[in-house]
Structure 1
Amino acid sequence: MAPGKPAETSENARPARRRLSVDRRRGELVAAALKLFGGRDAEDVSIDDVASAAGASRALVYHYFGGKQELYLAALRGAAVELESRLCRDEGGRPLDELAAALRRYFDFVEEDTAGFAALLRGGPARRAGEAGEIVDGVRRRLFLLIQRQLRVDEPSPVLRLTLRTWIASVEAAGLDWLEHRDLDRAALERMLVDQMVALCRAAAAYDEDVERLLAELV
């Protein structure tokens, strides 16, 4: 030990190393779980499957997460946070330009975090219940608010609310289909989805004056 340098006590030295190790290990377990939950229904994935995929023991998984449900929720939360962090940036410009930019970031997530996206949306809302459903619905609510802000809408009418929710469902379905087949150019798919938004607004404008005014601003 160098002269004049105080010795570190075990109490001072260990906590930082322990926290780093815990975070890293939890991250490895969550990443392994996401890959499994993204490819199979949650009920078909066991703690043993996760432990084997992560190169860990069954006891270690239980030590960090207590059980499969807690691990499943942690995996979903991590994927949700990552997706929302990509979508929350505003780039300015015309409403449709902002929508197109948000779609690019959305599909960046689809392509770069395939397991996270699939874990969030695979199976659809009918297969979600409890806290898992709340996490997925929370992503949808925040996406809805983002689109509402991009379209400069303060309070959507019932017709516009339904229109935006229909479009969000189309985007989710398109992401899952693209992951499965990848037989459509991604940039073309994104442009098509923007065009679908306009088409939905055209149809809805016949039933709602607010949507008609919005459509005039979009095109």
Structure 2
Amino acid sequence: MTSTAAAPPPPRAYRRLSVEERRAPVQGAGLGHFSPRAPPEVSRAGGGVAAGVSRPLVYRYFPGGRQQLYEAALGSAADELTLCFSEPPVGPPTERVARVLDRYLRFVDEHDTGFSALLRGGSVVETSRTTTIVDGVRRAAADAILSHLGRIGGSGPQSTGTRSAGPRLRMMVRSWIAAVEAASLIWLDEGKRPPAAELRGWLVDHLIALLAATAATDEETASVVRDLLALETSDGPAGRLAELVVPVVAEAAHLLPHATAAD
């Protein structure tokens, strides 16, 4: 009687990992280990062991020591976070910003230790390299938001027919980026409450409110707001906020003391 046992499967072809593929898990583990502690408190080899990488490989790929490992991990997180702000110029601007914030808060949620290291650790272990990495994320975020407002920032590429943003508008957008960062860190401290969707809605409202307040005294921002409103919908973020805020402002106006006529 002949045997019907199946032939053993052929051995898998061996593929040698590239340098970047070998470095990646070490970087990922390194950023997790570094937050919220500073790099001098972290063992360089410890990061490699946690990632399932041998100690000699850690020394091989990061010969510059703990700071080099930290900066490489920080740069990787910064690159991924910067991609969150990439959004096609399609649809109402406030809805584009909402989609950007959805991705941003998803990154914060999924990479909470890395996010904290990026914003907190980058300033704790301050070097010219870490400062450049963190500032680069902020500038890229500001340029992306300005593009949805129909302007370009100081470091953005020049586009035909697109005006550069003035100082008041740039300051307003960068202030909003700082508020988004602070709110995200507080959100982590508060156990990720309120829900991310609620936080995103509040941050969009915050941007609209800052635009309106700046437009009151800055003609460029007022022009931007007029152009944006023409692209918005009545049931979108701008329309809903206006519906809620206008009655409150109108009622408050009646409570303000009026100047008395001079005798």
Query: TM class by shorter-chain length?
Result: 0.7 to 0.9
Task: Give the alignment of 1:9-20 within 5 angstroms.
Answer: 17-18=15-16, 20=17
Q: C-alpha displacement at 1:79, in angstroms? A: 0.9
Partner Cα separation in structure 1 for residue 104 and residue 171 of structure 2? 21
Say whether residues 1:103 and 2:112 are aligned partners: no
Contact map agreement 1:159 1:207 (CA 8 A) in 2: no
Say whether residues 1:31 and 2:28 are aligned partners: yes
In structure 2, what is the equivalent of residue 41 of structure 1?
38
Q: C-alpha displacement at 1:124, in angstroms? A: 6.5
In structure 2, what is the equivalent of residue 7 of structure 1?
none
Partner Cα separation in structure 1 for residue 75 and residue 43 of structure 2? 19
Say whether residues 1:174 and 2:172 are aligned partners: no
1:37-79 CA-to-partner distances (Å, cap 9, x unmatched) read 2332233323143234334454331111111122111101111
Q: Please, which of 130, 143, 146 is the counterpart of residue 145 of structure 1?
A: 143
Q: C-alpha displacement at 1:216, in angstroms? A: 3.0
Tell me the number of residue pairs that the alignment of Structure 1 and Structure 2 aligns: 204
1:61-105 CA-to-partner distances (Å, cap 9, x unmatched) read 111111112211110111112122232231611111111111111
Q: Which has the larger Rg?
A: 2
In structure 1, what is the equivalent of residue 165 of structure 2?
156
Q: CA RMSD in A?
A: 2.3
Partner Cα separation in structure 1 for residue 83 and residue 60 of structure 2? 29
Higher RCO structure (Cα 8 Å, ≥6 apart): 1
Task: Give the alignment of 1:184-199 within 5 angstroms.
Answer: 184-199=194-209
Partner Cα separation in structure 1 for residue 123 and residue 168 of structure 2? 22
Aligned-partner residue type, residue 37 of structure 1:
F
When normalised by structure 1's length, the TM-score is 0.83
Identical residues among aligned pairs (%)? 43
Contact map agreement 2:37 2:121 (CA 8 A) in 1: no
In structure 1, what is the equivalent of residue 116 of structure 2?
118
| Structure 2, unpaired ranges of 5+ | 1-13, 152-162, 230-263
Contact map agreement 1:77 1:135 (CA 8 A) in 2: yes
Contact map agreement 1:34 1:116 (CA 8 A) in 2: yes
| Structure 1, unpaired ranges of 5+ | 1-15
Say whether residues 1:83 and 2:81 are aligned partners: yes
Q: C-alpha displacement at 1:106, in angstroms? A: 0.9
Partner Cα separation in structure 1 for residue 122 and residue 169 of structure 2? 23
In structure 1, what is the equivalent of residue 68 of structure 2?
70
Higher helix share: 1
SS in 1 for 2:84: helix
In structure 1, what is the equivalent of residue 237 of structure 2?
none
